[in-house]
Amino acid sequence: MGHQQITSKEGLALVEKVRKLAMRLPEVAEQVDAFGHISFRVNDKPFVMMGEGREDGPTLSIKTLPTTQEYLLAQEHFYKTPYIGQHAWVSIVGENVTDWKAIESYLIEGYLRSAPKRLAKLVQAT
């Protein structure tokens, strides 16, 4: 399942939606790695990564708590992220994302797992 830079219309729309959610959080930076994956990071630690597979389309990977990962893996469209799933990362193919409120809460959870305490306190206070 090789991934490449996101270039499809669906993929770019997915990136835009995720960007709007992620960039609301304090001190988030967007980065593109050598493979063309887009990541959203805090304190240079990724909490969201996105890529585009040849056969499965754009994917969204989110860092979660182990209990959240367990819950999501029991859902129909989520799967353990290849290579980093043992660190409680879950993925979903973009076309299967329907509940953006839930995705937003998972993004915030990932952010809180990656952010330094001073930033996490800012988010938790709101």
Q: Are 88 and 64 in contact (CB under 8 A)?
A: yes
Q: What is the pLDDT of residues 54-108, one digit of tens each?
A: 678 899 999 999 999 999 999 999 999 999 999 999 999 999 999 999 999 999 9
**Phi (first) and psi of residue 90, to 5 degrees:** -125, 155
pTM score, two decimals?
0.93
Length of the chain: 126
- pLDDT score of 124 more than 90: no
Q: Are 11 and 1 in contact (CB under 8 A)?
A: no
Q: Assess if CATH 3.30.70.380 describes domain 3-120.
A: no
